Amino acid sequence: MDPIALAEHVKAGNVRAVSRLITLLENQEPVGQAALERLNGSPRPAAVIGVTGYPGSGKSTLIDQLVTAYRRQGKKVGIVAVDTTSPRTGGALLGDRIRMQDHAMDGGVFIRSMATRGERGGLARATRGAVRVLEAAGYDVILVETVGVGQLETDVADVAPTVVAIVAPGLGDEVQALKAGLLETAHIVVVNKGDRDGADATVKDLQEWHPRVIRTVAIKGEGMPELIEAIAEHQRIVDLHSKPAT
């Protein structure tokens, strides 16, 4: 496969080329790296948002709602969902493409599940490359979902300028263990399933540790406008700080 041609197809937004290049990067094929280097000269700005949280916090449901909101704004959305590795196939075990079937037929949404394959830090080895591919292909918003959250799973901050951490009432001691990682990693903390018992206490507890805590009930869409605005506000701050001084 010609890496130059592959890179050009990616920059033209060809979905099959995007998928093919990400697969090559996952398999560490030299042609994939060569094609990726060809994308360096034509960066397209994208809003890259990391989404992290414990299993059971409703990450995939919340991401599904984010996709719906951004599609209503007319934005193309790419999703890189990192899952644990299947011991039988070596592939992604959970498969977020299955959990997001509502968007499967939407040509403006690209969903890719990616296995950790033994990598630590909450991301797969090819996650960074996949984000660069989606940026080059013209996706406006790229959501990166990590395996979980904790002090060892903070690599998402190196990929995404905006990181959203999700918790849910009733996680108990896990919230306590989460705090140190949240303070260092997350820009926005979401208490999802906010209609459950204990939600008020969870929100209050986390507000003592973090300046931006938002309550949501993602399955009902509650709190999503506030979350979208909080993400946009943080991105404005990032853009402001990234502009060179004149």
Domain CATH for 99: 3.40.50.300
Tokens of 140: 């406006």
> Average pLDDT for residues 7-25, to the nearest whole number?
95
Say which residue the tokens 């292909």 belong to: 137
- Whether residue 126 is found in the same domain as residue 180: yes
Percentage, residues of the chain above pLDDT 90: 50
For the entire predicted model, the pTM comes to 0.87
- Whether residue 35 is found in the same domain as residue 69: no
pLDDT digits (tens, 9 = 90+) for 123-138: 567 888 999 999 999 9
- Whether residue 202 is found in the same domain as residue 218: yes
Residues 36, 75, 64, 102: is their CA dihedral positive or negative?
A: negative
Contacting residues for 189 by C-beta, under 8 A, at least 6 apart? 164, 165, 166, 167, 182, 206, 210, 212, 213, 214
pLDDT digits (tens, 9 = 90+) for 37-50: 999 765 668 999 99
- Whether residue 89 is found in the same domain as residue 170: yes
Percentage, residues of the chain above pLDDT 70: 76
pLDDT class for 158, splitting at 50, 70, 90? confident
> Average pLDDT for residues 153-163, to the nearest whole number?
80
- Whether residue 174 is found in the same domain as residue 88: yes
Alpha-carbon distance of 24 to 223, in angstroms, equals 38
Alpha-carbon torsion, ordered 196, 202, 207, 211, to 10 deg: -60
* Phi, psi for 188 (deg, rounded to 5): -135, 135
pLDDT class for 221, splitting at 50, 70, 90? very high
pLDDT digits (tens, 9 = 90+) for 72-88: 999 999 999 886 543 33
- Whether residue 37 is found in the same domain as residue 149: no
Task: Give the mean pLDDT of the chain.
Answer: 82
**Domain housing 190:** 43-242
DSSP 3-state assignment of 131? helix
